Amino acid sequence: MNEVLLRSITPRVLGILVRRGADFAAAEDAVQDALVEAVRVWPADPPRDPKGWLVSVAWRRFLDSTRADAARRRREGLVDEEPAPGPASAVDDTLQLYFLCAHPSLTPSSAVALTLRAVGGLTTRQIAQAYLVPEATMAQRISRAKRTVSGVRFDQPGDVATVLRVLYLVFNEGYSGDVDLAAEAIRLTRQLAAAIEHPEVAGLLALMLLHHARHAARTAPDGSLVPLAEQDRGRWDTELIAEGVGILQAALARDRLGEFQAQAAIAALHADAPTAEETDWVQIVEWYDELARLTDSPVVRLNRAVAIGEADGPRAGLAALAALDDSSPSSSSRGCPMPRHTAVAAYLHERDGDLATAARLYAEAARKAPNLAERDHLNRQAARLNTRRCP
């Protein structure tokens, strides 16, 4: 049984059923029944046209279900649409399926789960393990999402920006359970890039590749985080970097700049530096300026403060951070710190030689860390500075 083949054609089979009139939830159930039947039948009798076989079996399962349903009379006209034997339609509805799974009516967590289930082909168990929740909880989340989009017409235009945000959420989950979500997000984004010509799709793919190229160098053998400046750049994947840069350059040449292209440009400048000391921070600041104009995001301005601190010195970075405090309702001075704000302040104070303040802020940032790896890293930074201050 070729699992890769099944995962690649399942979204197309699901898309065909929805386009023919099946509501999303019923179509997804029918496709799953067909996959179970394929596991039973294919090892002894593999079909010549796997997609056509799955379409035929799934459609019959859907019809069987609708006949037994209380709404049979309303749907009985669908019986006439049963596909004739032969190859399945070459029309690929995968792009519409992306739009459906990222529908604005869904919460971000539901959109991510539904995308992984319907487009990615992952099992409910795999998704639950990846997000560290019970399988029953994830099953309920996916069922609610399917019910939510069941009434959405398949021919309605989709929002590419929403799809990209969902895919980036998947990518940022990284790796947990038995599924590498970063690699899965790259696979799905490659698939989307093949289906649609859009510079921001290319920008997101480039960004993912450039970040994923550093994956092996991000953690030490003991599992602790390794900051970008301290990573062994010899462990970076140069093939992924070259591919990401090539995709980015082609996207930028279309002169339709978007936030993912700008983020990818920053990642490319980091990847291009042979050492941390040779990083072109001046150009990175310029890209953050572009990104801030595109998004007006406090997180972008926070990262810009770090870049300014590297380009123009830590006091300039602290001044940029203070300006962010004055303008953002998410600043730490207002009791609702944005992610990494305190850690950035600690780093800049350390660069400025104020070790006491830096140590205190590192410890404070550790208490706010969103995960164990970051908390341990920040606690080590605080301990390192306290040791330097009190030999």
Residue found by looking up tokens 């001046």 in the block: 282
CA distances from 281 to 262, 285, 286 (A): 14, 6, 9
pLDDT of residue 249: 97
Residue positions counted in the chain: 391
Contact 133, 151 (CB under 8 A): no
Calpha distance 350→361 (Å, rounded): 10
Six-digit token pair at 172? 């940022």
Calpha distance 351→305 (Å, rounded): 13
* DSSP notation for 224-280: -B--GGGS-GGGS-HHHHHHHHHHHHHHHTT----HHHHHHHHHHHHHH-SSGGG--
pLDDT of residue 80: 47
pLDDT of residue 18: 83
pLDDT of residue 305: 96
- Select from 278, 277, 269 the least CA-distant residue to 244: 269
Q: How crowded is residue 55: how many other Cβ atoms within 10 Å of its Cβ?
A: 24
pLDDT of residue 379: 95
pLDDT of residue 104: 83
pLDDT of residue 330: 46
Q: pLDDT digits over 44-81, tens only?
A: 888 889 989 999 998 988 888 877 665 545 544 554 44
Does the predicted model carry a pTM greater than 0.85? no
Six-digit token pair at 124? 């409910």
What pLDDT tens digit does each residue of the chain (391 aa) get?
577 777 778 888 888 888 787 888 888 888 888 888 888 888 888 888 998 999 999 898 888 887 766 554 554 455 444 444 444 444 456 777 888 888 888 888 888 888 888 888 788 888 888 777 899 999 999 999 988 888 776 665 567 888 898 889 888 876 555 568 888 889 889 988 988 899 999 999 999 999 999 999 999 998 889 999 999 999 999 999 999 999 999 999 999 999 999 999 999 999 999 999 999 999 999 999 999 999 988 889 999 999 999 999 999 999 999 998 755 544 444 444 565 899 999 999 999 999 999 999 999 999 988 888 899 999 999 999 998 866 5
Contact 378, 365 (CB under 8 A): yes
Which sign, positive or negative, has the C-alpha torsion 50, 53, 57, 60? positive
Calpha distance 155→355 (Å, rounded): 60
pLDDT of residue 206: 97
3-state class of 179 per DSSP?
Answer: strand
